[in-house]
Chains A and B, each alone.
Chain A
Amino acid sequence: MTNGDTLPGGGATGLRTRFAGFVAPGLPPDRSDRLARALGLRPAEGPAEGPTGSGALALLVTDGSAAEKDSLWLPPIAAWVEPAAGDEDGGGVAALLAEASGTDLYVNLTTATAHDLQLGGRLLAAIGARHPLSGHRRDDIELALHEAVSNALVHGNLGVSGMKELSAQELERFSRDLGDGLADPVLAARRISIAVRIDPPQAVPAGPGPVGGLPKDASENGRALATVEITDQGAGFVPRRPERAGASGRGLDLIGSIADGLEIEDGGRRIRLRFRL
């Protein structure tokens, strides 16, 4: 793993994003240089100084504050990846960027870092910069992304159960469990990964439609489609009907009412959402 050959070369592997360089505001220069050699990529000073027009940049995130600036969630940055502690030779980052190259937007962060960022809103900004979103649809998609990310972090990686009975004691229990989870180095180091693909509208056949009427789903196919996969490293869960009386349990319902597709896989560790844009 010493050069860019570790990144898939496109073609059959479905290359969607070719990285031209990376930005690593929080990394010391010597580590940044080592990573540059491992990735076969050039370090850029910042998004504005990346190679113009020639491709995407990856942001190497060292902690929440390294990814706080809003401009770091806009093009040309297309991946937000946190090097694992001890990944000195950059092999781990290279593997993550190889995965990122098969997506349009890719996030892979520790729970501790993701918790400090408003990841739902930031993802929305990154998607919105590629495909204009407006009004209610924008609010709704932000909520769905936020709920799915929160579920992955809180219930998945940190293993904190939702607030059940409606009482201040239960709120206190939730507070305490969340604090304990974030303070646990093993749980806080668990990963959340998010892969986004944005597909353009499918061409609607010109001229008269097929015999028997309008092309099926013509209006739906006329809109771009975002597919968002969010994966955590928690214990998973079995989806069931929420208990109406409780304080928790509305998140998945809200997601379901907003997304155009919702699949839960890997025993509840992965949720795949589709949004018509």
Chain B
Amino acid sequence: MYSETLNLKDDPMDYGIEVRDQEAVVRLRGRLTFNDHAKLRALIGEMGQNKPRRQVLDLSSLEFVDSAGIGMLLIAREEMDRADKQFVLRAAAGQVKRVLTVAQIAKIVQIED
């Protein structure tokens, strides 16, 4: 939902990883755009290295995603596939949920509420 407070500062994407027994949960925050290529490369590396087979991207704190951001999520999915890992997008909301729907990402990636 749009807040009246303008938040236009350079607000690059940030993430934190919590490794549990059955799954690793990566929580993305901020805005995921073409400019976050370096962060996404690092994230894909970390997801490939950690133990659990199931890698969950928690999108509940992600405020905005663009088409390049979606492309990078698809690259992450493909790399997890290569590493024989499962890749799940969880809890998208607001603009992010809308874009995932419009771009029909559910056909390619497992999406959970």
B is bound to A: yes
Where the two chains meet, the residues of A that have a C-beta atom closer than 8 Å to any C-beta of B are 68, 70, 73, 115-118, 121-122, 125, 134-136, 138-140, 142-143, 146-147, 150, 154, 162-163, 166-168, 170-172, 174-175, 178, 246-251, 253-254, 257
Chain B residue nearest to A119 in the complex (CB): B8
**Is A166 in contact with B94, judged by CB distance below 8 angstroms?**
no
**Is A70 in contact with B8, judged by CB distance below 8 angstroms?**
yes
In Å, the complex CA distance between A154 and B35 comes to 10
Which of A70, A138, A248 makes the CB contact (< 8 A) with B67?
A248
**Is B34 in contact with A171, judged by CB distance below 8 angstroms?**
no
Pairs A–B under 8 Å by Cβ, sample size 27:
A68-B10, A73-B6, A115-B35, A135-B1, A139-B98, A140-B98, A143-B95, A146-B33, A147-B67, A150-B66, A150-B68, A162-B68, A163-B68, A163-B71, A166-B74, A166-B77, A171-B37, A175-B37, A175-B38, A178-B34, A246-B71, A247-B68, A253-B103, A254-B67, A254-B102, A254-B103, A257-B102
**A52 to nearest B CB, angstroms?**
22
**Is A248 in contact with B68, judged by CB distance below 8 angstroms?**
yes
A174-B37 contact in complex given A121-B8, A122-B8, C-beta closer than 8 Å: yes
**Is B41 in contact with A175, judged by CB distance below 8 angstroms?**
yes
For chain B, the bracket of interface size reads 35 or more
Number of residue pairs spanning A and B whose beta carbons lie under 8 angstroms apart: 99
**A65 to nearest B CB, angstroms?**
10
> By DSSP majority rule, is chain A's interface helix, strand, loop, or mixed?
helix
Chain B residue nearest to A138 in the complex (CB): B2
B23 interface hit (Cβ, 8 Å): no
Where the two chains meet, the residues of B that have a C-beta atom closer than 8 Å to any C-beta of A are 1-2, 6, 8-11, 31, 33-35, 37-38, 40-41, 44-45, 64, 66-68, 70-72, 74-75, 77-79, 94-95, 98-99, 102-103
**B42 to nearest A CB, angstroms?**
11
* Chain A residues whose CB sits within 8 angstroms of the CB of B34 once the complex forms: 150, 154, 178
A70-B6 contact in complex given A150-B34, A254-B103, C-beta closer than 8 Å: yes
A73-B2 contact in complex given A163-B71, A175-B41, A251-B68, C-beta closer than 8 Å: no
* Chain B residues whose CB sits within 8 angstroms of the CB of A251 once the complex forms: 66-68
In Å, the complex CA distance between A249 and B45 comes to 24
**Is B2 in contact with A139, judged by CB distance below 8 angstroms?**
yes
In Å, the complex CA distance between A154 and B98 comes to 24
* Chain B residues whose CB sits within 8 angstroms of the CB of A122 once the complex forms: 8
Chain A residue nearest to B81 in the complex (CB): A166
* Chain B residues whose CB sits within 8 angstroms of the CB of A68 once the complex forms: 9-10
Given contacts A70-B6, A150-B33, 15 further A-B contacts (CB under 8 A): A118-B11, A125-B8, A140-B98, A143-B64, A163-B68, A163-B71, A167-B75, A168-B75, A168-B79, A170-B75, A178-B37, A248-B68, A250-B71, A251-B66, A254-B102
* Chain B residues whose CB sits within 8 angstroms of the CB of A257 once the complex forms: 102
Which of A142, A163, A254 makes the CB contact (< 8 A) with B75?
A163
